[in-house]
Amino acid sequence: MKYYIIAGEASGDLHGSNLIKALKKEDSSALFRVWGGDKMGRASGELVMHYRNHSFMGLFPVLWNLQTIRKNFRMVKKDIIDYKPDALILIDYSGFNLRVAKMLKSESLKIYYYISPQVWAWRKNRVKLIKKVIDRLFSILPFEKEFYNRYDFNVDYVGHPLLDAIEDYRSEDIVEKDVFISKNRLSGKPLIALLPGSRSQEINAQLPCMAEISTKFGEYEFVIAAAPSMNEEIYSPFVAKYPVKLIKDQTYDLLRFSKAAIVTSGTATLETALFKVPQVVCYKAGSLSYFIVKNLVNISFISIVNLIMGEQVIKELIQKDMNKKMLETELNLILHDDSYRDRMTGNYNKLESMLGGPGASARTAKGMYTDLLGL
């Protein structure tokens, strides 16, 4: 079979690469063509477009790049039609992917969606479009199946692929802490991980406050986990100004050795939880963008950890609450209140049990391949 896969950010690139590996096990002669990142490129051998060149977040970045976005839609449509895949696999990234699905629905190919758009949070009317243009949807969050059932759309709940990624990491020859410290020229003080996001807008919004807080905790070493798609220059002003270090392509090592983490809302909050690292979640956006989103989104929490658990397991500092004083208070609780830490990590254990165990990539690949075979 020929597969065309589209992902638009770092987490989608990770899950897309693992899905490609799983599809190769199901379909040994599978061929791929992808829009994604470095991981999907290595797994497929056919990277058409890197997500850093077509992923825009926020109202104004989208408006400023409309011409590029229109060009990308024309390009991807032509490329898919010319490639003639048996299946188009769309991973998250709904603003782009749902439009691609709509454009290609008339073509003779199966359209699968892996990792549902967050229609349960906002713009529920998109369910109608999903039902119309998606042949099969593979969900990774336990509450999504019930949500879609209310709209008479049956989806496959496959579990969360992060469990696969972390299991793969732990099965490798993982680095020892002293080697990690020596390799990255760290001091040996207890570590606090800073995960400021995977897009430039996120990093520029979150990292100033994240880095500044390092001046209040001199007995700890603050380490930024660089996003794989970002040029290191974006972090340079913070490394120069504050007592923080930068590492790249070692996020899981950093989490494994960290005592606490400050994390931008997104997939990284779940990764941090699965490594059992106490954390505080941050989110700050432009005032107008936040006002618009706040009035459209209908959810109680921004962190996927809290959303899955249905309660506040980790503290969320949003907009004006994302400040030095609030961050210092929460970090002190995480670092020095044992009962606070234990309660958080105990909830992490419950969270992990809700996610269905490893095997999401394999279950998804099997579902897609057997569907293509008509079994």
What is the rounded radius of gyration, in angstroms, for the C-alpha atoms of the chain?
A: 21
286 plus 321 within the same structural domain: yes
Q: What is the amino acid identity at position 344?
A: M
> For 51-106, what is each residue's pLDDT tens digit?
877 665 555 565 566 677 788 899 999 999 999 999 999 999 988 999 999 999 98
Strand-strand pairing, 87-91 and 47-50: unpaired
Cβ atoms of 112 and 88 closer than 8 Å: yes
Backbone angles phi, psi at 227, to 5 degrees: -70, 140
Question: For position 321, what pLDDT does the model report?
Answer: 92
What's the helix, strand, coil split of the chain in %, to 5? Answer: 50, 15, 30
- Its domain, for residue 6, covers 2-160+359-373
- Kindly state the average pLDDT of the residues 11-18: 92
The label of the residue with tokens 């120069």 reads 240
- Kindly state the average pLDDT of the residues 157-176: 91
Q: How many domains does the chain have?
A: 2
In which band, very low, low, confident or very high, does the pLDDT at 292 lie, cut at 50, 70 and 90?
low
Q: Which has the minimum average pLDDT: 116-120, 274-278, 280-284?
A: 116-120
> For 331-340, what is each residue's pLDDT tens digit?
999 999 999 9
Distance of alpha carbon 199 from alpha carbon 248, whole angstroms? 15
> For 22-46, what is each residue's pLDDT tens digit?
999 999 999 999 999 999 999 999 9
- Kindly state the average pLDDT of the residues 222-237: 92
49 plus 174 within the same structural domain: no
How many C-beta atoms lie closer than 10 Å to residue 275's C-beta?
20
Percent of the chain clearing pLDDT 90 (strictly above): 74
Q: What angle do CA 278, 282, 283 make, to 5 degrees?
A: 155
256 plus 367 within the same structural domain: no
The label of the residue with tokens 């299946």 reads 87
DSSP 216-250: G-TTSEEEEEE-TTS-GGGTHHHHHHSSEEEEES-
- Kindly state the average pLDDT of the residues 277-305: 75
181 plus 62 within the same structural domain: no
150 plus 296 within the same structural domain: no
173 plus 278 within the same structural domain: yes
340 plus 367 within the same structural domain: no
Question: For position 298, what pLDDT does the model report?
Answer: 62
> For 251-272, what is each residue's pLDDT tens digit?
999 999 999 999 998 889 999 9
CA 220 to chain centre: 27
Helix, strand, or coil (residue 187): coil
Kindly report the CATH number assigned to the domain that includes residue 216.
Answer: 3.40.50.2000
pLDDT reading at 287 higher than 60 = no
Question: For position 291, what pLDDT does the model report?
Answer: 55
Distance of alpha carbon 363 from alpha carbon 375, whole angstroms? 15
18 plus 137 within the same structural domain: yes
In which band, very low, low, confident or very high, does the pLDDT at 329 lie, cut at 50, 70 and 90?
very high
367's tokens: 């579902």
Question: For position 57, what pLDDT does the model report?
Answer: 57
141 plus 185 within the same structural domain: no
pLDDT reading at 299 higher than 80 = no
pLDDT reading at 205 higher than 60 = yes
Query: Edge-to-edge strands of the sheet including 2-7?
Result: 47-50, 31-36, 2-7, 87-91, 110-114, 136-139, 156-157
Backbone angles phi, psi at 10, to 5 degrees: -60, -45
Question: For position 118, what pLDDT does the model report?
Answer: 85
Question: For position 18, what pLDDT does the model report?
Answer: 94
125 plus 254 within the same structural domain: no
144 plus 182 within the same structural domain: no
Q: Tell which residue, 355, 297, 326, 321, has the closest CA to residue 143.
A: 355
Distance of alpha carbon 354 from alpha carbon 86, whole angstroms? 33
Average pLDDT, the chain: 91
Q: Which are the contacts of 45, defined by CB distance < 8 A and separation ≥ 6?
A: 32
181 plus 120 within the same structural domain: no
Q: Tell which residue, 268, 266, 282, 260, has the closest CA to residue 340.
A: 260
How many C-beta atoms lie closer than 10 Å to residue 7's C-beta?
30
Q: Where are the beta strands (DSSP E) in the chain?
A: 2-7, 31-36, 47-50, 87-91, 110-114, 136-139, 156-157, 191-195, 221-226, 244-248, 258-264, 279-283, 316-318
